[in-house]
């Protein structure tokens, strides 16, 4: 589970690298003395409210606070901006040892747009409970993705898989980054991405799972460097629901890295 020191941005706009990791797996999530479940929420017009359970698994009382953000992707990184559109109540929870509290999560206004909207809900300890060597204290934080389905989509309905494509984007180090493009109106989650040679040898593998939001782009890390770039023949994407094999074109064919 990802743990982060609490930070404050005076502009109110948090630019956070795509370090989603196990905090975004669709299973129970753990961080220090907190347990949160489920770790992915879907809302819709027919189901405007969901329940999130927050449990203190430690031996001492703890105070947890909930923060809500609009979640977008600009092609390079995740962007989180504080929002009041997503409602979580209560926002502050006192948890006795072993206690579980229920948080209700909903949207202030229904999503009438033709595309899914994405949010992140963070549950964080207000009182730091983890002390590292040297006396520095860190408050633990768990991120929960919240997806608000398009107006005509029923929660739990089987929808078409996201339309994933990709392109090379050169970086300043002489390597090429893999940028995924999701042109559909639903998110997708890539568990693993691999560059394969023509004989099936794995030349490169992504470092962590990654969400690609509806109508958005995002990079996978690390970048692909020589000789793997020239030897790659197939990009294999393993998602929550399927395996997708996409052909590899030579990086020289990428004329405009900012092409939409």
Burial annotation 71-89 (CB, 10 A radius, 16+ → b, else e)? bbbeeeebebeeeeebbbe
pLDDT digits (tens, 9 = 90+) for 175-189: 999 999 999 999 999
132 in the same domain as 178: no
Question: What are the backbone dihedrals phi and psi of residue 225, each rounded to the nearest 5 degrees, phi first?
Answer: -115, 170
Q: Which of 25-29, 83-87, 168-172, 195-199 has the lowest mean pLDDT?
A: 25-29
192 in the same domain as 117: no
What 3-state DSSP class applies to 24? helix
User: DSSP secondary structure string, 72-116?
Assistant: EE-SSSEEEEE-SSEEEE-SEEEE-TT-EEEEEEEESS---SSS-
More confident residue, 162 or 46: 46
In a domain, 184, yes or no: yes
In a domain, 6, yes or no: no
Q: Terminal CA-to-CA distance of the chain, rounded, Å?
A: 34
Q: Which helix (H) or strand (E) holds 41?
A: strand 41-43
223 in the same domain as 108: no
pLDDT digits (tens, 9 = 90+) for 95-149: 999 999 999 999 988 888 889 999 999 999 986 555 555 555 566 889 999 999 9
Confirm if 209 and 26 have CB atoms less than 8 A apart.
no
102 in the same domain as 20: yes
- Check which CATH number belongs to the domain holding 47 and give it: 2.60.40.10
In a domain, 130, yes or no: yes
Neighbours of 11 (CB within 10 A): 7
Confidence of residue 152 (pLDDT cuts 50, 70, 90): low
pTM for the whole thing?
0.77
Residue 173: the pLDDT is: 86
207 in the same domain as 82: no
Q: How many domains does the chain have?
A: 2
**How far apart (Å, rounded) are the C-alpha atoms in residues 211 and 118?**
11
Tokens, residue 142: 């768990």
**How far apart (Å, rounded) are the C-alpha atoms in residues 67 and 92?**
9
23 in the same domain as 113: yes
64 in the same domain as 30: yes
User: 174 is in which domain, residue-wise?
Assistant: 164-251
Q: How far is CA 82 from CA 137, 199, 258, in A?
A: 24, 47, 27
130 in the same domain as 63: yes
172 in the same domain as 98: no
134 in the same domain as 54: yes
235 in the same domain as 180: yes
In a domain, 256, yes or no: no
In a domain, 226, yes or no: yes
177 in the same domain as 133: no
Closest CA to 114 of 169, 159, 153, 162: 153
**How far apart (Å, rounded) are the C-alpha atoms in residues 210 and 193?**
9
């Amino acid at each position: 589970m990802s743990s982060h020191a609490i930070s404050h941005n005076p502009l109110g706009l948090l630019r956070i690298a795509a370090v989603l990791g196990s905090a975004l797996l669709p299973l129970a999530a753990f961080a220090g003395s907190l347990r949160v479940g489920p770790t992915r929420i879907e809302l819709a017009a027919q189901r405007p409210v969901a329940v999130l359970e927050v449990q203190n698994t430690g031996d001492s009382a703890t105070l947890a606070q909930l923060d809500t953000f609009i979640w977008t992707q600009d092609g390079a990184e995740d962007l989180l901006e504080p929002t009041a559109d997503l409602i979580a109540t209560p926002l502050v929870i006192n948890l006795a040892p072993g206690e579980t509290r229920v948080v209700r999560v909903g949207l202030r206004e229904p999503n009438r747009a033709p595309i899914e909207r994405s949010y992140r809900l963070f549950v964080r300890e207000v009182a730091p409970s983890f002390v590292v060597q040297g006396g520095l204290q860190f408050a633990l934080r768990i991120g929960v993705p919240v997806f608000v389905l398009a107006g005509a989509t029923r929660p739990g309905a089987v929808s078409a898989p996201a339309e994933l494509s990709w392109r090379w984007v050169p970086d300043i180090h002489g390597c090429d980054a893999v940028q995924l493009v999701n042109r559909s109106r639903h998110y997708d989650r890539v568990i693993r991405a691999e560059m394969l040679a023509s004989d099936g040898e794995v030349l490169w593998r992504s470092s962590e799972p990654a969400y690609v939001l509806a109508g958005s782009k995002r990079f996978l890390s690390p970048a692909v460097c020589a000789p793997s770039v020239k030897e790659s023949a197939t990009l294999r994407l393993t998602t929550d629901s399927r395996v997708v094999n996409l052909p590899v074109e030579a990086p020289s064919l990428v004329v405009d890295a900012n092409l939409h």
